[in-house]
Chain A
Amino acid sequence: MNATATQRVWSVVTHVLLLFGVAISIFPFYWMFVMASRTTEDIFKFPPELLPGTHLLENIGKVFDSVNLLGSTANTIFVAVVTTVLVLFFDSIAAFAFAKFDFPAKNLLFVVLLVTFMIPSQLSTVPSFVIMANFGWVGSFQALIVPGAVNAFGIFLLRQYAQGAVSAELLDAARIDGCNFWRQYWHVAVPLLRPALAFLGIFTFINAWNDYFWPLVVLIDPGRQTLQVALSQLNGLYNTDYSMVMAGTLLAVIPLIIVFFLGARQFLADLAAGAVKQ
């Protein structure tokens, strides 16, 4: 009885703490909605307006009038989905090899991988553009997808996770059953790595979705813009319609939340499935 009471108190405390964190997390987001539903002038009132206004549809309408929202959203979905699929595949096979196998020069290769991770991308904008121009890729989605199809971050993440989650016994068992590397990858590693893959997938998708500077530099055709590049056009030469920008940002975020929601459910369902398999 006493133990349950303590547990209940503890559970309440946990919820209170978590909810406090949630409030901090959500508040700016809520405020974005407030701004998107008000006029630009309202945003600068003091003390600030804390409740949503009535201009949401009007602001969204302005966004639709100013940029090709649907077309650029479709482009962004295409780029983000293709990039995510490629990243998940290429990163996970590399991570699996690095985490669970030994081969000559492994450590050296891994250090090289980590080092490449430290090069600031701003440094390579001009040479990367030169490469794309020479490939004739400027203006095409390949210029966004191919260089981003595999990355050090994801390999590193999955490797760290696989070290813990993929046990040597299972691999040994699979090897005795005659599974080669690829079958071990597919039948043993992938199911166990799913929570981490779900995370990496969501994260990659979000990054591809929000990527702005490189797409701005390398895409040129207004019909082939990504969403963030299109939204960046909302800023005027001398002034910015903040409430319209907020409405555009809001529209750009909604698909991400849907993706995350789907991903998070997948993430939970998989754990159950994995347990059953045992």
Chain B
Amino acid sequence: MATTTPLTAPAQAPEERRSTGNHAGRSKSELLSLYAAISPFYILFAIFGLFPIGFSLYLSFQNWNGIGAMRFVGLAQYQFMLSDPIFWKSIVNTFQIWFISTIPMLFFALVIAFMLNQQIRGRSAYRIAYFIPNVTSIVAIAIIFGSIFSNNFGLLNAALEGLHLDTVEWLNTPWGIKVAIAAMVIWRWTGYNAIIYLAGLQAIPTELYEAAKVDGANLWQVFFRITVPLLRPIILFTVITSTIGGMQLFTEPQVLVGNGGGPGSEGSTMVLYLYQQAFINNQFGYGAAIGWGLFVIMILFSLINWRLVQGAGNRGSRKGVRA
């Protein structure tokens, strides 16, 4: 690590600009290579992605139970969707769960990665331990979390009772359900994000830290002035993927509280609701309409997100360069 030269330093804005400067001299064969390099994704998407998208768009204008004939209903599915309280509720639920899971998750991940990146003994073992939640099958985890949050018999309530505190009916109350789902998400994905951050951190040359130390920076300053700005592209990545993952949250609530989302549909997320309508209620047309509603919401939300993080990132890196 210590011998890494500054050559491997994370490229910042100026270097990117330099690489784009070469654009003019790019030969035809090189352009061809570039398009060839990115083409597999678009080809596979054209085959396996476009048709399903078109089909689901078509479906969203139909009434179809998946078995018999389709019946064209125009915009009726969308109209119904806009007046469907559970649809709106599932949107609110999704955002609430996203919020209470993503922020602690990314924060803990960053702190863990930062700690693991110190010259610390047993780093490899720690890494494995933190990643383990991500390898286990979600169904088993649901049983375990079910018994942790279980209303009358769960470990958590046993602990509360032991401390002479009031117990909480976690899986029967609106916030309890969301906290339980968020806890599952945090538990599963914190280590995963920490490992991503760690991979990024290891590309930051130790000289930077040593220089900061010489300048008398404390750990806090090192974290916010060096680690966070240099990790910006990776942080952006985790923010975007956690947003998309959070908006598509499905398995955790399904296995924890069932297809209906538990009492009061408080655990129903957008994708779970889509699945329930299509495959449980045999309403494929309505399911497709929900899918498109969800898609629009995600695009809007991701744009806002991207703007926020990217904007902050540009400012941050410019500052970093000047310093």
Contacts and interface: CB of A to CB of B under 8 A. Distances in A.
* Contact between A and B in the complex (any CB pair below 8 Å): yes
Interface of A: 10-11, 14-15, 17-18, 21-22, 24-26, 28-29, 31-32, 35, 43-44, 46-48, 90, 93-94, 96-98, 100-104, 109, 112-120, 122-124, 126-128, 130-131, 146-147, 149-153, 155-157, 160-161, 163-172, 175, 180-182, 185, 192, 195-196, 198-199, 202-203, 206, 210, 228, 231-232, 242, 245-246, 249, 252-253, 256-257, 260-261, 264-265, 267-268, 271-272, 274-276, 278
B233 to A, nearest CB: 4
Contacts of A272: 1
B226 to A, nearest CB: 13
Contact of A131 (B38, B48, B200): B48
A122 B274 contact: yes
Given A109-B42, A157-B241, A172-B22, 7 more contacts: A25-B129, A44-B153, A46-B158, A103-B23, A123-B274, A150-B44, A161-B234
28 contacts: A11-B118, A17-B115, A18-B112, A21-B112, A25-B132, A25-B191, A100-B19, A103-B35, A119-B53, A120-B248, A122-B271, A127-B55, A150-B41, A151-B41, A153-B241, A156-B237, A160-B233, A175-B22, A181-B34, A198-B199, A203-B134, A206-B135, A210-B137, A257-B132, A257-B135, A264-B127, A276-B3, A278-B5
A64 to B, nearest CB: 18
Interface string B187-212: 10011100110011011000000000
A101 B274 CA distance: 39
B80 interface: no
**What 7 pairs across the A-B complex have the smallest Cβ distances?**
A164-B10, A124-B52, A123-B291, A127-B52, A127-B55, A249-B140, A181-B33
B106 interface: no
Interface of B: 1-5, 7-11, 15-16, 18-20, 22-23, 26, 29-31, 33-35, 37-38, 40-42, 44-45, 47-49, 51-53, 55-56, 66, 108, 112, 115-116, 118, 120, 123-124, 126-141, 143-145, 147-148, 153, 155, 158, 187, 190-192, 195-196, 199-200, 202-203, 219, 230, 233-234, 236-237, 240-241, 244, 247-248, 250, 270-271, 274-275, 278, 284, 287-288, 291, 294-295, 298-299, 302
A71 to B, nearest CB: 19
A18 B116 contact: yes
B38 A168 contact: no
B271 A120 contact: yes
A271 B66 CA distance: 53
A10 B220 CA distance: 13
A274 to B, nearest CB: 7
A266 to B, nearest CB: 11
Given A150-B44, A271-B202, A98 B191 contact: no
B132 A118 contact: no
A267 B38 CA distance: 26
A31 B187 CA distance: 14
B34 A119 contact: no
Contacts of B147: 43, 48
Given A206-B135, A249-B139, A163 B11 contact: yes
A164 B7 contact: no
A228 B138 CA distance: 11
